[in-house]
């Protein structure tokens, strides 16, 4: 069954070309547009299942302001960004603005289609390897940790911090459970608590927030040496 889509790209011709290719593959493309033509309003009004949002400059100021509006006014629409992978901060911004997926702009149409279908199913539409590569720059230790990182560490238990680090490393529920020696249902519960405490709606948003604030550098890595993870050394894991 095809997906109901709106396709947006910086270049309208590319948006229309993508729309044509996806129609040929059985999907229902409601509209193709460029951001300057009121794409956010178009998405909100048309109500697609998925919006494919192409951009050449994900790190540009305000590049994803429209995604925040879509997340607020049409949260049931899943947004997948199509863009370059050379700008880690831009990719983080896409997730923070509400995107549920990110696909390389040189991906084949089959890969784009897989991401769209996964997004409609409520899954994260991004390859763990791509996420790790894109966030490598952001995960480097910062000279001056962000105060926001300390605040976030203060509201999470040590176990929740470990879960967050594993989420940021691209681990799914099964891998988190195996790595921590807990049941998948318990791991899923920990993930949901982390999302609630951070005030985000998805694992990708949580990873982006953790990377931007320097929380990951403060927390360390699962199983790695060094100080215990978590903002409060004496707190028990949930």
Whether residue 154 is found in the same domain as residue 112: no
Q: Where are the alpha helices (DSSP H) in the chain?
A: 12-24, 39-46, 65-73, 88-96, 109-120, 128-135, 147-155, 158-168, 173-180, 184-198, 203-213, 215-219
**Neighbour count for residue 47 (Cβ, 10 Å):** 12
The pLDDT value recorded for residue 121 is 92
Check residue 170 and give its pLDDT: 85
Nearest of 93, 225, 238, 92 to residue 161 by alpha carbon = 238
Domain membership flag for residue 142: no
190 and 128 fall within a common domain: no
pTM tops 0.75, yes or no: no
- Are 108 and 160 contained in the same domain? no
Same domain, 19 and 119: yes
Scanning the structure block, which residue is given the tokens 């203060």?
154
64 and 109 both lie in a single domain: yes
Q: Is residue 122 part of a domain?
A: yes
Same domain, 105 and 183: no
Strands of 4-9's sheet in order across: 28-33, 4-9, 50-54, 78-83, 101-104
Quick check: is 69 in a domain?
yes
- Encoded tokens for 126: 């991004």
- Spatial separation of the C-alpha atoms in residues 25 and 99, rounded to whole Å: 23
Same domain membership, residue 180 and residue 103: no
Q: What does the alpha-carbon distance between residue 171 and residue 159 come to, in Å, rounded to a whole number?
A: 15
CATH of the domain at 166: 1.10.10.10
Examine the fold and report which residue of 94, 109, 135 is the final residue of a domain before the chain moves on: 135
CATH at residue 72: 3.40.50.2300
Q: What are phi and psi of 164, to 5 degrees?
A: -60, -45
DSSP bridge pairs for 9:
54
Q: What is the pLDDT along the chain (238 residues), one digit of tens a residue?
A: 799 999 999 888 889 999 999 999 999 999 999 887 688 999 999 999 999 999 888 877 788 889 989 999 999 999 999 988 766 777 778 888 899 999 988 889 999 999 999 999 998 888 776 777 666 656 554 444 446 777 788 888 888 889 998 988 888 999 999 999 999 999 999 999 998 888 888 888 888 888 877 777 776 554 443 333 333 333 333 3
Domain count, the chain: 2
- Check whether residue 56 and residue 122 sit in a common domain: yes
Burial (Cβ within 10 Å: 0-12, 13-18, ≥19) of residue 13: exposed
The confidence score (pLDDT) of residue 134 equals: 65
Would 224 be classed as within a structural domain? no
Length of the chain: 238
- Residue-range definition of the domain harbouring residue 154: 147-219
Judgement on whether residues 131 and 42 belong to the same structural domain of the protein = yes
The predicted pLDDT at position 147 comes to 67
């Amino acid at each position: 069954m095809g997906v109901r889509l709106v396709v947006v790209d910086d270049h309208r011709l590319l948006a229309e070309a993508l729309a044509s290719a996806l129609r040929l593959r059985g999907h229902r493309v409601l509209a193709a547009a460029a951001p300057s033509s009121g794409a956010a309003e178009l998405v909100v009004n048309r109500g697609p299942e998925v919006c494919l949002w192409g951009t050449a400059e994900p790190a540009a100021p305000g590049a994803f302001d429209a995604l925040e509006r879509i997340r607020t006014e049409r949260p049931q629409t899943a947004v997948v960004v199509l863009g370059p992978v050379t700008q880690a901060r831009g990719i983080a911004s896409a997730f923070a603005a509400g995107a549920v997926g990110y696909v390389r702009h040189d991906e084949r149409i089959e890969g784009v289609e897989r991401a769209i279908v996964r997004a409609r199913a409520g899954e994260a539409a991004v390859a763990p390897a791509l996420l790790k590569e894109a966030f490598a720059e952001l995960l480097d230790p910062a000279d001056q940790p962000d105060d926001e990182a300390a605040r976030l560490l203060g509201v999470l238990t040590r176990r929740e911090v470990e879960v967050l680090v594993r989420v940021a490393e691209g681990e799914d529920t099964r891998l988190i459970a195996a790595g921590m020696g807990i049941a998948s249902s318990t791991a899923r519960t920990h993930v949901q608590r982390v999302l609630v405490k951070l005030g985000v709606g998805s694992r990708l948003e949580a990873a982006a927030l953790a990377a931007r604030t320097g929380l990951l550098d403060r927390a360390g890595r699962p199983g790695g040496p060094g100080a215990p993870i978590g903002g409060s050394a004496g707190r028990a894991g949930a």
